[in-house]
Amino acid sequence: MPVPDRFQLQVTTSPGTSVAELRLRDGGGNHLEYNIVDFAALTPTQKRGLFDLRAAIRHYADDGQGEAHVAEVGVWVAEHVLGPKIFEILERPLSERTLEVELPTASDPNDLAAALARVPWEIARRERGTQTLADRALLVRVVHPSGAASTPLPLGPGESLRVLFVFAEARGARPLDARRERHALLRLFTQSIYPERRVEVDVLSHGVTRERLVQQIQDRGGSSECCPT
């Protein structure tokens, strides 16, 4: 049986509860596996690792355990969030694949729905010392239901859509990686977007402050109200 090159993971929640349901489908929408998670059963340490990994790394980095804690969080994602059956399907092949994680819309009044957007799905692993899903060439994309799409931004005569990219290096990342990502994104705009659409792009990187961000937006005719203190 051929391995799908695209998976869909639909995550649903209910307001006022700590329960999430996960349904894994292939690219054609065919059901593959199901898991239900009660996040109330997780310890405070596990919740912090799942929902605020950056803060958890800072906490453990002082003891030299940051990397080990990230590996442990990956195991929690595989065991307690995805569940063994879903994880096994996603882990199995070593080839380029995409996982689209469909989360509840941002308008839903549910704290759990918002927290799930911060789960580091790509670091899921079977156990410490094994490859993560990212290591196994699985690209994770967080999407929202198609019905939640916003109204297109209207443009006046001669107006262009202005896009501002702000790049920041992740803790422990190499500057060269950020530079490559920036160049790849700008190359995509130059080759595939600029020729057919009215789009202008500005880029900020390296040591971006709130003041610099506000100044950039104001210089391009935007409002400082976009960046409240």
pLDDT digits (tens, 9 = 90+) for 100-119: 999 886 555 567 877 888 89
The answer on 112 and 182 residing in a single domain is no
How many whole angstroms separate alpha carbon 70 and alpha carbon 122? 11
N-to-C CA span, the chain: 54
- Among 127, 148, 169, the domain-final residue is 148
pLDDT of the residue at 28:
86
If one compares 2 and 68, the residue with the highest pLDDT of the two is 68
The more confidently predicted of residues 221 and 219 is 219
| Same structural domain, 139 and 167 | no
Question: What domain range is 196 assigned to?
Answer: 161-226
3-class DSSP assignment, residue 19: strand
Does residue 105 share a domain with residue 51?
yes
Check whether residue 141 and residue 185 sit in a common domain.
no
The pLDDT tens digits for 177-197 are 667 777 888 888 888 777 777
Task: Please give the residue that has the higher pLDDT: either 125 or 17.
Answer: 125
- At 10, the pLDDT band (50, 70, 90 cuts) reads very high
Identify whether residues 99 and 200 lie together within a single domain. no
Banded pLDDT at 149 (limits 50, 70, 90): very low
Say if residue 140 is in the same domain as residue 168.
no
Are residues 182 and 124 both part of a single domain?
no
Taking the whole predicted model, whether its pTM rises above 0.75 is answered as no
Residues 165 and 144 in one domain: no
Evaluate if residue 88 carries a pLDDT over 90: yes
Domains held by the chain: number: 2
| Domain termination site, one of 148, 182, 202 | 148
> What's the token pair of residue 44?
């405070």
CA 94 to chain CA mean position, Å: 21
Examine the fold and report which residue of 148, 170, 191 is the final residue of a domain before the chain moves on: 148
DSSP string, 139-185: EEEEE--GGGPPPPPP--TT--EEEEEEE-PPTT--HHHHHHHHHHH
What average pLDDT score do residues 195-201 get? 81
Q: What pLDDT shows up at residue 226?
A: 55
Following DSSP, what letter does each residue of 68-106 receive, concatenated? Answer: HHHHHHHHHIIIIII-HHHHHHHHS--S-EEEEEEPPPT
Provide mean pLDDT across the span 91-103.
Answer: 85
155 falls within a domain: no
Lowest mean pLDDT among 41-45, 165-169, 215-219: 165-169
- Mean per-residue pLDDT, 159-185: 73
Position 192 scores a pLDDT of: 79
Residue 1 lies in a domain: no
For residue 225, how many other CB atoms are within 10 A of its CB?
8
